[in-house]
Structure 1
Amino acid sequence: LAGQALLRAHAFDAEHELVGMLQRQLLPRRLPRLPGAEAVARYLPTTAGLEVGGDWYDVIPLSDNHVALVIGDVQGHSAAAATLMGQMRTALRAYAVEGHPPDVVVHHANRLLMDMETDLFATCCYVDVDLEEGSAWCVRAGHLPPVLRHPDGSTEIAEAEGGPPLGVMREADFPMSPLSLQPGTVIALTTDGLVESPDADIDAGMDRFAHELALADPAHLGLVADALLVGARRTDDIALLLMRYEGMAVRPLRDSWTVWRVPQAVGHARRFTRRTLRSWGVPPQDMDAVLLVVSELVTNALVHTDGRVRLDLTLVNHRLRVAVADASPRTPVKPTSISWEATGGRGVLLVEAVSAAWGTVPVSGGKQVWSEIALGG
């Protein structure tokens, strides 16, 4: 009997370690550094039993100094819930990086979960923050709303309209709600394990959570997260995600141009670029390389794709980014060799020659080809 008890104890410890490793692997190992903001997260597994939970969080850097804050909870505590949690986190990240707006990201994740034909559902709160403008859009799918701590110390539970949990209705509507951020504002996202208890309803728990957030010092965000978890009942998993918005010290200059498919399209794009660079104070000697890149990228998009073409210019820290978006998912291919009588195929080589870096990224419904050019060199 003593030997069997010892074997069961060893098996219990091994299973406990396996569960802990699975939870750690499914969550981010570290959060990214953000321009004009700081984010911290905490995760506490339940102490009841060994079954792994489905709570998750994520911080997803996006283009144009946007960042997506995501927190969610899959129904139940099982290996199936943990697996589904990993799938949903990966899906939301993939849809967000593609450039979809917040409501479309959540809508795609809902359709994906419906197609998995699982009996489980998931709640989610997705917040897209514009770090340049200090604005955000929030989408809720059956999850708790964000709590905002303003610079004056006051807190509010965001009035963000929500939709149903993911995996419940295929054609569900997930409306977007605006959030306004001032430098020093803290956004707090959590799961119900922190605010729900058998002796108090969830509204009272949210009020308590907002009150404790108001009492914390936002200058030390890690200490704030630790203080919010003090005394938490460990009957359910707890995920907590905090971000303090500080505002960007250097805001990029941006401008865009829709390229119409007319015979003078490339010339119009060049004139727009020259006019924009002059207004930004770019010296004339730096314009030739930029105009060459604009000509080649716009020409390639017009010749090899159909649909809308958009030119975006971004200037920050003497580095200009030229990006041309089109409706084709095909990535431009750099030729390995070009014969002397060839009449085309040199555009990509020219862009590579004058750029400090260049590449292509998929965006919603197509791709974006970009080039970065160092000015003043």
Structure 2
Amino acid sequence: MNRRRPRRSASAEELLTTLQKLTARARHEVQVHQARVELAEALQRETLPGSLPALPGLQTAARYSPARSGLNIGGDWYDGFRLPDGTLAFAIGDVQGHDVEAAAFMGQIRIAMRAIAATTADPGQIMARTNDLLLSIGSTLLATCTFVRLDPRARELRTARAGHVSAIWAAVDGRSGIAQDEGGLPLGIQAKQEYPVTRHRLTAPGAFVLVTDGVVEGRSLPIDEGLEAVMRLVTAHVSAAAERLADEVMRMAERTGHEDDAAVLVLRHSGFPGGAG
């Protein structure tokens, strides 16, 4: 009769060697993980603008907050720059995914929009051409985005939206709302898309606030309730400086229990000298 030989128990020395190997592997993985986090943070920091354009009658402010854990950094971004015709451009977006790849893709979108905006001031065309350019380079990521062109002479905003969270606005005369702009698909899904342009007249001093979904959606708050909460907050603080208003809106992200990163862009307008009506 064949008897199975008893399995030899590992010695203390063998167990210790195995534990050392597992510890070394875990330490290496932690180091690699940390290196990727630091690289994503560096890309995020260098890609976001150091300052935003402003002019008499306009205050601007922005905030960015990374997610609370792991590699959830690198997806949200904002930008602001002057256009050749004297108007101002602002944008905010959210890239699918996180980590180094998302941070790099965010940089590509920002560079593409700036380059295209130098040749056309129409927000819908800027969005459409950016979408086609991103698809032409074979990117597998997608992004939501809102692009805003502010014309101080006409006292108006023209916006185009690619699957992004709605903007919030409030005026000092008590009016407020969630912008119901018609939009198109997120960037990077399908070529030859059209992005309708919505016109917002700045008839009274107030604020126009752009956010990413990390501000208004989280474990403790669905997005519709989050947008309503931010609208009430902006209405209550509409007379405050842009910096303070941006801080107040970003605190909303902490209350939602957000697991995504979050960005806020505030345009606080109080009347433009020489404007047309």
The alignment's TM-score, normalised by the length of structure 2, stands at 0.82
Which of 151, 169, 183 does residue 148 from structure 1 map onto?
A: 169
1:1-377 aligned within 5 A: 15-230=36-251, 231-232=254-255, 233-250=257-274
Q: Distance in 1 between matches of 2:271 and 2:85?
A: 14
In structure 2, the CA distance between the partners of 1:206 and 1:49, relative to structure 1 (3 Å rule), is: same
Q: Distance in 2 between matches of 1:16 and 1:237?
A: 13
Contact 2:53 2:88 in 1 (8 A): no
What are the superposed Cα offsets for residues 270-317 of structure 1, whole Å, 9 maximum, x if unpaired?
xxxxxxxxxxxxxxxxxxxxxxxxxxxxxxxxxxxxxxxxxxxxxxxx
Distance apart, 1:26 and its partner CA: 1.1
Distance apart, 1:206 and its partner CA: 0.9
Amino acid at match of 1:223: R
Amino acid at match of 1:123: T
Q: Distance in 2 between matches of 1:198 and 1:6?
A: 31
Distance apart, 1:189 and its partner CA: 0.3
Distance apart, 1:20 and its partner CA: 2.1
What CA RMSD, in Å, does the superposition of the two structures yield over aligned residues? 2.4
What are the superposed Cα offsets for residues 305-346 of structure 1, whole Å, 9 maximum, x if unpaired?
xxxxxxxxxxxxxxxxxxxxxxxxxxxxxxxxxxxxxxxxxx
Q: In structure 2, what is the equivalent of residue 262 of structure 1?
A: none
Share of identical aligned residues, percent? Answer: 36
Q: Distance in 2 between matches of 1:135 and 1:103?
A: 16
Q: Distance in 2 between matches of 1:119 and 1:71?
A: 20
Q: Distance in 1 between matches of 2:193 and 2:43?
A: 31
Amino acid at match of 1:107: A
Question: Higher mean Cα deviation, 94-103 or 134-143?
Answer: 94-103
The alignment's TM-score, normalised by the length of structure 1, stands at 0.62
Q: Distance in 1 between matches of 2:105 and 2:27?
A: 34
What are the superposed Cα offsets for residues 106-148 of structure 1, whole Å, 9 maximum, x if unpaired?
1100101111222211111111111112112111110112111
Amino acid at match of 1:181: L
Distance apart, 1:74 and its partner CA: 1.0
Distance apart, 1:247 and its partner CA: 2.4
Distance apart, 1:204 and its partner CA: 1.5
Structure 1 residue runs without a partner (length 5+): 253-377
Distance apart, 1:71 and its partner CA: 0.5
Contact 2:59 2:241 in 1 (8 A): no
In structure 2, the CA distance between the partners of 1:80 and 1:153, relative to structure 1 (3 Å rule), is: same
Contact 1:19 1:51 in 2 (8 A): no
Distance apart, 1:60 and its partner CA: 1.8
Q: Distance in 2 between matches of 1:109 and 1:222?
A: 30
Q: Distance in 2 between matches of 1:64 and 1:92?
A: 16
Amino acid at match of 2:175: S
Where 1:162 maps in the other structure, the secondary structure is coil
Contact 1:92 1:105 in 2 (8 A): yes
Structure with the larger RCO, 1 or 2 (CA within 8 Å, 6+ apart): 2
Contact 1:54 1:73 in 2 (8 A): yes
Contact 1:35 1:131 in 2 (8 A): no
